[in-house]
C-alpha cells in the first residue's frame, strides 16, 4: 500500500513536466506567428546568466534573465 502511494507520487512530477513542455511549445508557436524577434532559453542559460550577473535566484528575476545576455 505505501509503496504504491510512493510510486504514484514519483510519476506525478513527470506528468506536470510534460504538460509544461506542451504548453511552452504551444505558446512559443503562437507567439512566433507575430513575427517578432524572439529567443527561447532554457534552465542552463538562465543559470549561466544568473551566475555571470551575480543575481539571486527568484522567479521574477529568472524571467528577466531567461533570454541570452549579450
Q: Hey, where are the domains in the chain? A: 1-37, 39-70
pLDDT of residue 33: 94
Mean pLDDT of all residues belonging to the chain: 80
pLDDT of residue 26: 93
Residue 1 has pLDDT above 90, yes or no: no
Residues 27-53 have pLDDT tens digits of 999 999 998 887 777 778 778 878 888
49 neighbors 65 (Cβ within 8 angstroms): yes
pLDDT of residue 60: 77
pLDDT of residue 5: 78
Cα–Cα distance measured from residue 15 to residue 8, given in angstroms and rounded to the nearest whole number = 11
Amino acid at each position: 500500500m505505501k509503496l504504491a502511494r510512493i510510486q504514484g507520487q514519483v510519476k506525478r512530477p513527470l506528468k506536470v513536466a510534460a504538460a509544461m513542455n506542451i504548453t511552452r511549445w504551444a505558446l512559443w508557436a503562437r507567439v512566433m506567428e507575430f513575427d517578432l524577434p524572439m529567443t527561447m532559453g532554457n534552465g542552463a542559460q538562465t543559470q549561466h546568466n544568473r551566475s555571470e550577473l551575480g543575481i539571486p535566484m527568484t522567479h521574477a528575476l529568472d524571467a528577466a534573465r531567461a533570454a541570452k545576455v549579450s
